[in-house]
């Protein structure tokens, strides 16, 4: 089976950011495995400013990890 | 007695993520040891977008620790 | 296509702070891609003290990452 | 007088986790020194999912510190 | 034009703390540029315990960054 | 004038924890300088579980900084 998270290394900072977004979403699936429930909740929080800011905070926490894992992509040329 | 947390080292990033989810859950048990109460609360927060995002944040904080403990799995081949 | 995030390196701390603000906003776009919805939500949270403080927290988390990526701009003269 | 926190070093990750739980609780005592008030509040938050998740977040923040203090228990054999 | 953030280096820990307070405030300005609105919101959150604690958390996050940038002011004599 | 924060170095982990509690409180003073208002708010949040947990989180964030500043007090004998 393919892993959904084979590595924290990404080619670019932008890819690292996308990975952070993914990492934030997977925890929600782990707590609420029912896709139908998640689909029902989605429009609710996607139109709620507080929820959007809270999601952004989770992404920020994961991005810190991914960025450190990639040495902040310092060695790109 | 076997420890529920013998090590922070995991073979893969995905295993590290699963450990972060576990670390988030154990703190809830420590504060609310009664399994019956936890079972009663579970459906409540599992259908609440704000609670799911908050859980995701806790997982993100633990994942940062586990990832650092594993040197971000940089030496995998 | 040009990347919105080619690098975490910035010339100055102030530029790094601006990048942190940008990083906080992009996660909102990823969760709510509809610009019309975001525009509708904006006045709501921009006049809500709790939301403004929450945004400030997300910026702080990203600024920590950007500052580390730039070695805290220690080598500027 | 014996210190309640003589060291951040622990023998095992599990002990480190228990220390993180303790560190989270002591701050509550510092802000609310009256044990009777704390006892009154306890059942309230112990049956509130949002509060339990919030406690879990505080534990996660302390666990990051304790784990770093112990070099993530990497040298255990 | 003078930068509001020329450096993260400060002479003392106390100055570093003041800078953290400033960093927390600037993000609010970035999201709500209208000074009149900010002035209207200020008394509201300055008398709200939850908001004050939330502000304190943002300051704590920035202080971590500023302290690291200054090597925790370890080399002061 | 004596500084309220001359150093982040403390003799013991327990002293470091006390400093973290102090760092959390000072930010509240910076935002609400009026002691009479703060005194009025104190009983309110000191009897509110959510507020106590939030304060504990701020302390945890500062404790991480203070512990790092002291190299986790590893060199004590």
- What pLDDT score does C75 carry? 82
Distance CA D20, CA B55 (A): 18
Q: Does D35 touch chain B (CB under 8 A)?
A: no
Output E19 or B76, whichever has higher pLDDT. E19
pLDDT band at B75 (very low <50, low <70, confident <90, very high): confident
Contact A28 B56 (CB under 8 A): yes
Query: Helix H segments across F1-77?
Result: 13-31, 35-46, 49-69
CA D32 from centre of chain: 16
CB contacts of F59 in chain D (<8 Å) are: 27, 30
E45 phi/psi in degrees, rounded to 5: -80, -20
- What pLDDT score does D74 carry? 95
**For testing contact with chain C, the best of A59, A71, A73 (most C CBs within 10 A):** A59
Which of D25, D51, D65 lies nearest to residue F64, judging by beta carbons?
D65
pLDDT 10s digits, D6-55: 999 999 999 999 999 999 999 999 999 999 999 999 988 999 999 999 99
CB contacts of B73 in chain A (<8 Å) are: 7-8, 69
pLDDT band at B7 (very low <50, low <70, confident <90, very high): very high
Q: Does F43 touch chain E (CB under 8 A)?
A: no
CB contacts of C52 in chain E (<8 Å) are: 28, 31-32, 41
Contact C27 A73 (CB under 8 A): no
Instruction: For residue E38, give every residue at least 6 positions away whose Cβ sits within 8 Å of its Cβ, in sequence order, or none.
Output: E28, E29, E32
**For testing contact with chain E, the best of C16, C38, C46, C52 (most E CBs within 10 A):** C52
Distance CA C59, CA C25 (A): 9
- What pLDDT score does E75 carry? 83
The per-residue b/e assignment along E38-65, b for 16 or more CB within 10 angstroms, e otherwise, is beebeeebbebbbbbbbbbbbbbbbbbb
Judge whether B14 and A3 are in contact, CB under 8 Å. yes
pLDDT band at B1 (very low <50, low <70, confident <90, very high): low
- What pLDDT score does F44 carry? 87
Contact B54 A54 (CB under 8 A): yes
Chains C and E lie in contact, requiring 3 or more CB pairs less than 8 Å apart: yes
pLDDT(A77) > 60:
no
pLDDT band at D1 (very low <50, low <70, confident <90, very high): low
Helical axes F49-69 vs F13-31, angle rounded to 10°:
120
Contact C52 E61 (CB under 8 A): no
Q: What is the mean pLDDT of chain D?
A: 95
Contact F72 D6 (CB under 8 A): no
Judge whether F23 and E66 are in contact, CB under 8 Å. no
CB contacts of F61 in chain E (<8 Å) are: 57, 60-61, 64
pLDDT(A29) > 70:
yes
**In terms of residues, how long is chain B?**
77
Q: Each residue's pLDDT tens digit in chain F (77 positions)?
A: 689 999 999 999 999 999 999 999 999 999 999 999 999 999 889 999 999 999 999 999 999 999 999 999 998 75
- What pLDDT score does A27 carry? 94
End-to-end CA distance of chain C: 34
Which of D13, D48, D63 lies nearest to residue B7, judging by beta carbons?
D13
Q: Quick one: three-class SS letters along D14-71?
A: HHHHHHHHHHHHHHHHHHCCCHHHHHHHHHHHHCCHHHHHHHHHHHHHHHHHHHHHCH
Q: What is the DSSP string of chain E?
A: ---S-S-S--SSHHHHHHHHHHHHHHHHHHH---HHHHHHHHHHHHT-HHHHHHHHHHHHHHHHHHHHHTGGGTT--
Contact F52 D32 (CB under 8 A): yes
Chains F and D lie in contact, requiring 3 or more CB pairs less than 8 Å apart: yes
Q: What is the mean pLDDT of residues C71-77?
A: 86
Helical axes C49-69 vs E35-46, angle rounded to 10°:
100
Instruction: For residue F46, give every residue at least 6 positions away whose Cβ sits within 8 Å of its Cβ, in sequence order, or none.
Output: D31, D32, D37, F52
Residues F46, A50, B23, CA angle at the centre, nearest 5°? 65
What are the distances in angstroms from CA F4 to CA D9, E64, F24, F38? 29, 18, 13, 19
Q: What is the mean pLDDT of residues B11-30?
A: 97
Distance CA A17, CA C9 (A): 15
Q: Does E37 touch chain F (CB under 8 A)?
A: no
pLDDT 10s digits, A31-67: 999 999 999 999 889 999 999 999 999 999 999 999 9
Contact A4 B13 (CB under 8 A): no
Contact C7 A76 (CB under 8 A): yes
Residues in chain E predicted with pLDDT less than 70, given as ranges, are 1, 77
CA B4 from centre of chain: 12
Chains B and D lie in contact, requiring 3 or more CB pairs less than 8 Å apart: yes
Distance CA F53, CA E50 (A): 11
Q: What is the mean pLDDT of residues C45-62?
A: 96
Q: What is the mean pLDDT of chain C?
A: 95
pLDDT(A1) > 80:
no
Instruction: For residue F45, give every residue at least 6 positions away whose Cβ sits within 8 Å of its Cβ, in sequence order, or none.
Output: D31, E49, E50, E53, F51, F52, F55
- What pLDDT score does B76 carry? 75
What are the distances in angstroms from CA B21 to CA A11, A42, B17, B25? 27, 21, 6, 6
Which of E46, E59, E64 lies nearest to residue F32, judging by beta carbons?
E46
Interface confidence: ipTM more than 0.90: yes
């Amino acid at each position: 089976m393919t892993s959904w998270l084979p590595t924290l290394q990404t080619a670019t900072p932008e890819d690292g950011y996308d990975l952070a977004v993914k990492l934030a979403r997977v925890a929600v699936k782990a707590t609420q495995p029912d896709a139908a429930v998640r689909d029902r909740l989605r429009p609710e929080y996607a139109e709620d400013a507080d929820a959007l800011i809270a999601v952004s905070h989770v992404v920020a926490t994961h991005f810190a990890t991914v960025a450190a894992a990639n040495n902040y992509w310092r060695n790109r040329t």
